[in-house]
Amino acid sequence: MGKKRKYLSEFGVNIVSSGWMMMTSDQLRAEGEMLEEQEALSKECHIYLICKRPASYFIKDTFSYCDERISVEVGYKVDGVQSVFSYEGKFPLLDDAVDVRVSDYPHREIITYSSDGKVVRKLPANIISSGQGHELILKNLEVLYVGQSFGNGSRTAIDRLKSHSTLQKVLADSSYNYPDSEISVLMFKFEPYRLLMNFDGMSEGTISDERDEKRFVSIKNNPLRKKQQIGLVEAALIRYFEPDYNDKFKIKFPSPKTKLLKKCYELDFSGLCVEINTEELGFSLFSKRRAAAAHHIANIDIVDDQSRASFFYVAGGGKGLVKVSDVIGVSKS
């Protein structure tokens, strides 16, 4: 027997990413200064993703420089097999630079130098790789870990991450397990949650009197705190991507035993919808569990173990209520 709606209305929590920052592991460990706008954003980032992709490098013997233009081949390896693409672009000698050449092994940068041998500016191979539309594999980031860098304005997300034990473990493992890859950290800001409402006036036997109205009033008058919202985002993304380095929430979420969901159950939410978007960044996210995409939506049915139909159930054209596709249900363990 199919599930039936308990109330006329069902409610869901929708939390969407907005601002973002991306740093490679070497940038994260550097002591350089950020622009004021970047520093302000870093203090507001709530969630970070540790990701990997193939590391790119310049093939030194192919490098040439003429009329302020670079010509060079860029390589990368997947499972030890090298692929190469050609790059040509303008790169003038600015700020009193007099020379330009490829850096020493592993040849990851093109560097300009002043007359006294000082570094003026750098062009990393991974920046060039990110702009190559045909090299799609270089624009796909595998999610290895999802963590919370809850911003309260006192420290930047970067400061909090530099000493993070999991990041240090991934970096330590990468040289051994992923010798042809580079590690990057993506940091995201999430907007305050939006309330989603789903009405079904066709279902029979639903509660549609003042009890349903009181639920709505209670939800409006008892908003989720910011820390609760970010906790839900972290848990939803871990359950969705199932990253290698995460344990908590990877399997046993959602569950009525999860303290994080206590307020949602009290207010009678039946759905959680977390969205993370990297379209503007120009990258796609993926994991062993999820295909590469620039926009991921983690739909979580938090009352799936109950007989009632949740927020994610819709009329099925004579087949009763049908759950929409790709919705994660309550853990049975």
Residue 114 has pLDDT above 90, yes or no: yes
Place 311 in a pLDDT band, splitting at 50, 70 and 90.
Answer: confident
Q: Are 50 and 255 in contact (CB under 8 A)?
A: no
pLDDT band at 41 (very low <50, low <70, confident <90, very high): low
User: Sorting pLDDT into bands at 50, 70 and 90, what band is 1?
Assistant: very low
pLDDT band at 310 (very low <50, low <70, confident <90, very high): confident
Please give the pLDDT value at position 202: 63
Chain centre to alpha carbon of residue 237: 8
pLDDT tens digits, one per residue of 122-140: 898 988 877 666 567 888 9
Where does residue 67 fall: left (phi above 0), alpha (psi -120 to 50 degrees), or beta otherwise?
A: left
Give me the residues paired with residue 183 across strands: 52
Q: pLDDT value at position 159?
A: 61
Q: Averaged over 322-333, what is the pLDDT?
A: 75
Backbone angles phi, psi at 226, to 5 degrees: -60, -45
| Count of other CB atoms within 10 angstroms of residue 71 | 13
N-terminal to C-terminal alpha carbon distance within the chain: 23
Torsion of CA 277, 282, 285, 291, to 10 degrees: 100
List, as own/partner pairs, every contact residues 318-327 make where C-beta atoms lie below 8 angstroms and the sequence separation is at least 24, other chains included: 319/2, 320/2, 321/2, 321/3, 321/4, 321/5, 321/203, 324/299, 326/299, 327/299, 327/300, 327/301
* List of long-range contacts for 126-130, beta carbons under 8 Å, 24+ apart: 126/24, 126/55, 126/56, 126/182, 128/56, 128/74, 128/87, 128/89, 129/56, 129/74, 129/76, 130/282, 130/283
- pLDDT, tens digit, 9 for 90 and up, residues 134-183: 567 888 999 999 988 764 545 555 666 666 677 778 878 887 888 899 98
How much is the mean pLDDT over the chain? 84
Where do the structural domains in the chain lie, given as residue ranges? 1-55+141-333, 56-137
pLDDT band, residue 104 (cuts 50/70/90): very high
d(CA 275, CA 251): 19
38-47, 52-61, 128-137 — which is least confidently predicted?
A: 128-137
Measured CA to CA, the distance from residue 284 to residue 146 in angstroms comes to: 15
Can you give the pLDDT at residue 103? 94
Q: In what order do the strands lie in the sheet with 97-102?
A: 97-102, 109-114, 119-124
- Tens of pLDDT, residue by residue over 260-285, are 999 998 998 889 999 999 988 888 99
How confident is the model at residue 34, as a pLDDT?
Answer: 52
Distance, CA of 298 to CA of 289 (rounded, Å): 12
Cα–Cα distances (Å) from 11 to 16, 54, 276, 310, 329, in that order, read: 16, 42, 20, 8, 16
Q: Which residues pair with 325 in a beta bridge?
A: none
Q: In angstroms, rounded to a whole number, what is the distance separating the alpha carbons of residues 93 and 96?
A: 7
* 124 prior amide bond cis, ω within 30: no
How far CA 141 is from CA of 138, 180, 224, 289, 298, in Å, comes to 8, 14, 31, 13, 17
Question: Is the pLDDT at 28 greater than 90, yes or no?
Answer: no
Whole-structure pTM value:
0.87
Give the separation between CA 120 and CA 97, rounded to whole angstroms: 6
Which tens digit of pLDDT belongs to each residue from 77-102?
988 899 999 999 899 998 889 999 99
- pLDDT value at 238 more than 50: yes
